[in-house]
């Protein structure tokens, strides 16, 4: 991930999605469904390795009642979301949020391998 | 302390059972405990202000090099001219004093405050070892007593002004980090030390999840003992073969002077980086396997002091600068969350 990303300045939580505003004033909308489907935690990530399971994960997150999450910065590199239902473990690096905002695959096409070697 | 808002009791001055109007001794005792607690809280808040950066060093598994990394960070930061302290919270195996050349020191208490010992480059050290009668009998405090001792160690130590306080923990996700995180305000974050083997990495993953449950940010992962480089000589231009772990054969070609070097991955390679990536936390760098660390730990002269231009010192410098750049990046506070 050598590509430079801009600094996220504002995150506005709305009913079904969040609006992200970067330092240059550009803003993007990411739905909570997209966000949750891209959860980087060790439980959710492997589910995106195969299309079938990934679709199942998608249906699972879409079925959750729509609710605004609690949002917290993690150090200076990431944000975390706490949801009333479902998984809240993922720590989203700002690069990941940037990818979601720009509709890039946040996994960069790489399958998740536990332990990664 | 004369500037304390409550002036009913100065430790050691007033026998408790002679206090006037004490309703009953139990109540009196409770009040005193509450008072001591409050005083400690206030001094913790003050310590929080006087120490610019507080860094916890943790690992899931024991023996992966936390204390080596803690003392190395401290010494490297002191080499840069910073005022540095180390708090060694490991009760059962406190070995920071030995590594800092402060073997056999006892706790120094003056005016009701605990004063740190000073090791190499003026690094201030407080260790549970200072409480031990002799090195071979570890303290086996459990539960509340242990945690109370830790709180006391944080609240009653006269650190003075520090740029960095490094806190070295026993292995695992136990009560100690929780107690420290709850007592000491504004911890900058934790450094997680791992070795590149599955069990250690698995435990590091636990530490990372643990960090988020403590609401302390992870500054990053350090991979320790990552590879051992052998240097040797042979006929110039010839190929040397070495039987490496996992049945692999490694080879190198001797240069025109006949010198060669080969790095053996004693465990596995790159696990620390991939664990960091998996959890989306920064990777701070890898430290080579270097027997000099063991010698340095035993004779109290850290590797990066005894061989400041060696490969290990260079690797350490990288880790230190990654830690510093993590600290420098601010706390993400410019993000407005609505
Ligand atoms: N990179 C290294 N190369 C070689 N030996 C090392 C290295 N790092 C640490 N060691 C040695 O490994 C042993 C354990 O290191 P250390 O005491 O720092 O680990 P620890 O994680 O603090 O252990 P504990 O869990 O008992 O507190 C020590 O003898 C130390 O000198
Ligand atoms: Mg140790």
Q: Which residue of A has its CA nearest to B188?
A: A75
Tokens 């300045």, residue located: A9
Q: How far is the CA of B57 from the centre of ligand 2 (A)?
A: 10
Q: How far is the CA of B69 from the centre of ligand 2 (A)?
A: 9
Average pLDDT score over chain A: 82
**What is the pLDDT confidence band of residue A113, given thresholds at 50, 70 and 90?**
low
| Residues of chain B found within 8 Å of residue A12, distances taken between Cβ atoms | 338
pLDDT tens readout for residues A8-53: 989 999 999 999 999 898 999 999 999 999 987 767 878 888 888 8
| Residues of chain B found within 8 Å of residue A111, distances taken between Cβ atoms | none
Q: Which residue of A has its CA nearest to B332?
A: A76
pLDDT tens readout for residues B151-172: 777 778 888 888 899 999 888 7
Instruction: Please give the residue that has the higher pLDDT: either B124 or B61.
Output: B124
Report yes or no on A2 lying in a domain.
no
Residue B193 has pLDDT above 80, yes or no: yes
Instruction: Please give the residue that has the higher pLDDT: either B271 or B75.
Output: B75
ipTM reported for the complex, 2 dp? 0.79
Residue B149 has pLDDT above 90, yes or no: no
* Distance of alpha carbon B271 from alpha carbon B71, whole angstroms: 23
Residue B326 has pLDDT above 50, yes or no: yes
pLDDT of res. B47: 77
Q: Over pLDDT 70: what percentage of chain B?
A: 80
pLDDT of res. B5: 29
With contact defined as beta carbons under 8 Å apart, do B215 and B180 qualify?
A: no
Residue A99 has pLDDT above 70, yes or no: yes
Beta carbons within 8 Å of B285's beta carbon, 6+ residues apart: B222, B223, B315, B318, B319, B322
Q: How far is CA B169 from CA A11, A91, B76, B193, in A?
A: 36, 24, 19, 11
pLDDT tens readout for residues B105-122: 887 888 878 889 988 888
Q: How distant is the Cα of B206 from the closest Cα of chain A, in angstroms?
A: 11
Helix H or strand E encompassing B117: strand B117-118
pLDDT of res. B14: 41
pLDDT of res. B244: 75
- Candidates B97, B289, B121; CA nearest to B196 is B289
- Testing ligand 1's pocket by substitution, the residue of B294, B302, B303, B311 carrying the most ligand atoms inside 8 A of its CB is B294
* Fold designation for B48-227+266-328: Rossmann fold (3.40.50)
Report yes or no on A94 lying in a domain.
yes
Report yes or no on A13 lying in a domain.
yes
With contact defined as beta carbons under 8 Å apart, do A12 and A19 qualify?
A: yes
* Distance of alpha carbon B35 from alpha carbon B30, whole angstroms: 8
Residue B191 has pLDDT above 90, yes or no: yes
pLDDT tens readout for residues A55-75: 888 999 999 988 899 888 766
Show the domain range for A33.
8-101
Report yes or no on A84 lying in a domain.
yes
- Average pLDDT in the B130-136 region? 67
Q: Which ligand ends up closest to the CA of B63?
A: 1
Report yes or no on A19 lying in a domain.
yes
Q: Residues 47..86 of A with a Cβ closer than 8 Å to B: which?
A: 71-80
pLDDT of res. B70: 94
Residue B332 has pLDDT above 80, yes or no: no
* Distance of alpha carbon B10 from alpha carbon B2, whole angstroms: 9
| Residues of chain A found within 8 Å of residue B333, distances taken between Cβ atoms | 73
* Distance of alpha carbon B327 from alpha carbon B191, whole angstroms: 12
pLDDT of res. B204: 67
Q: How far is the CA of B168 from the centre of ligand 2 (A)?
A: 7
- Average pLDDT in the B1-7 region? 33
Residue B139 has pLDDT above 90, yes or no: no
* Distance of alpha carbon B257 from alpha carbon A13, whole angstroms: 65
pLDDT of res. A27: 93
Q: Which residue of A has its CA nearest to B190?
A: A75
Q: How far is CA B259 from CA B189, B235, B253, B308, in A?
A: 43, 8, 8, 23
Helix H or strand E encompassing B262: strand B259-264
- Average pLDDT in the B248-256 region? 87
Cβ of residue B290 lying under 6 Å from some atom of ligand 1: yes
Instruction: Please give the residue that has the higher pLDDT: either B202 or B184.
Output: B184
Cβ of residue B90 lying under 6 Å from some atom of ligand 1: yes
Report yes or no on A116 lying in a domain.
no
pLDDT of res. B140: 58
3-state secondary structure of B274: helix
pLDDT of res. B102: 86
- CATH number of the domain within which A44 lies: 3.30.2020.30
Average pLDDT score over chain B: 78
- Average pLDDT in the B87-112 region? 83
Residue B284 has pLDDT above 70, yes or no: yes
- Average pLDDT in the B291-298 region? 80
With contact defined as beta carbons under 8 Å apart, do B41 and B85 qualify?
A: no
Mutate to test the interface with B, among A46, A72, A75 (most CBs of B within 10 A): A75
A100's tokens: 């979601």
Report yes or no on A76 lying in a domain.
yes
Question: Would you kindly state where each structural domain of chain B is located, as residue ranges?
Answer: 48-227+266-328, 228-264
Q: pTM of the predicted model, to two decimals? A: 0.68
Q: Indicate the number of domains in chain A.
A: 1
């Amino acid at each position: 991930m050598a590509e430079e990303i801009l600094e996220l300045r504002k995150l506005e939580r709305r009913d079904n999605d969040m609006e992200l505003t970067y330092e240059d004033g550009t803003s993007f909308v990411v739905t909570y469904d997209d966000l949750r489907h891209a959860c980087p935690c060790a439980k959710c990530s492997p589910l995106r390795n195969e299309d079938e399971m990934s679709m199942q994960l998608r249906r699972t997150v879409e079925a959750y009642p729509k609710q605004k999450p609690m949002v917290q910065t993690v150090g200076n590199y990431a944000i975390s979301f706490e949801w009333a239902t479902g998984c809240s473990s993922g720590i989203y690096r700002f690069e990941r949020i940037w990818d979601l905002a720009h509709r890039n695959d946040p996994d960069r096409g790489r399958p998740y391998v536990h332990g990664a070697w | 302390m004369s500037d304390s808002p409550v002036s009913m009791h100065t430790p050691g001055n007033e026998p408790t059972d002679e206090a006037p109007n004490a309703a009953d001794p139990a109540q009196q005792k409770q009040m005193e405990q509450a008072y001591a607690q409050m005083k400690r809280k206030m001094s913790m808040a003050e310590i929080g202000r006087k120490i610019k950066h507080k860094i916890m060093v943790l690992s899931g598994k024991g023996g992966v090099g936390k204390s080596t990394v803690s003392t190395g960070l401290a010494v490297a930061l002191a080499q840069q001219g910073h005022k540095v302290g180390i708090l060694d919270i490991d009760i059962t195996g406190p070995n920071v004093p030995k590594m800092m050349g402060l073997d056999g020191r006892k706790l120094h208490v003056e005016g009701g405050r605990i004063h740190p010992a000073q090791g190499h480059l003026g690094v201030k050290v407080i260790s549970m070892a200072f409480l031990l009668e002799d090195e071979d009998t570890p303290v086996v405090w459990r539960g509340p007593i242990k945690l109370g001792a830790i709180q006391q160690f944080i609240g009653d130590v006269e650190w003075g002004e520090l740029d960095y306080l490094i806190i070295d923990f026993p292995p695992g996700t136990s009560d100690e980090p929780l107690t420290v995180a709850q007592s000491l305000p504004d911890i900058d974050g934790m450094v997680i030390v791992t070795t590149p083997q599955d069990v250690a990495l698995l435990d590091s993953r636990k530490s990372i999840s643990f960090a988020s449950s403590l609401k302390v940010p992870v500054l990053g992962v350090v991979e320790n003992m990552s590879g051992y480089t052998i240097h040797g000589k042979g006929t110039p231009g010839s190929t040397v073969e070495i039987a490496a772990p996992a049945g692999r054969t490694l080879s190198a070609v001797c240069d025109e002077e006949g010198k060669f070097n080969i790095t053996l991955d004693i465990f596995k390679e790159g696990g620390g980086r991939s664990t960091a990536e998996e959890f989306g936390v920064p990777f701070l760098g890898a430290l080579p396997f270097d027997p000099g660390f063991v010698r340095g730990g035993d004779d109290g002269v850290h590797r990066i002091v005894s061989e400041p231009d060696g490969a290990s010192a260079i690797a350490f410098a990288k880790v230190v600068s990654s830690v510093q750049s993590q600290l420098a990046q601010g706390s993400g506070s410019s993000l407005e969350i609505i």
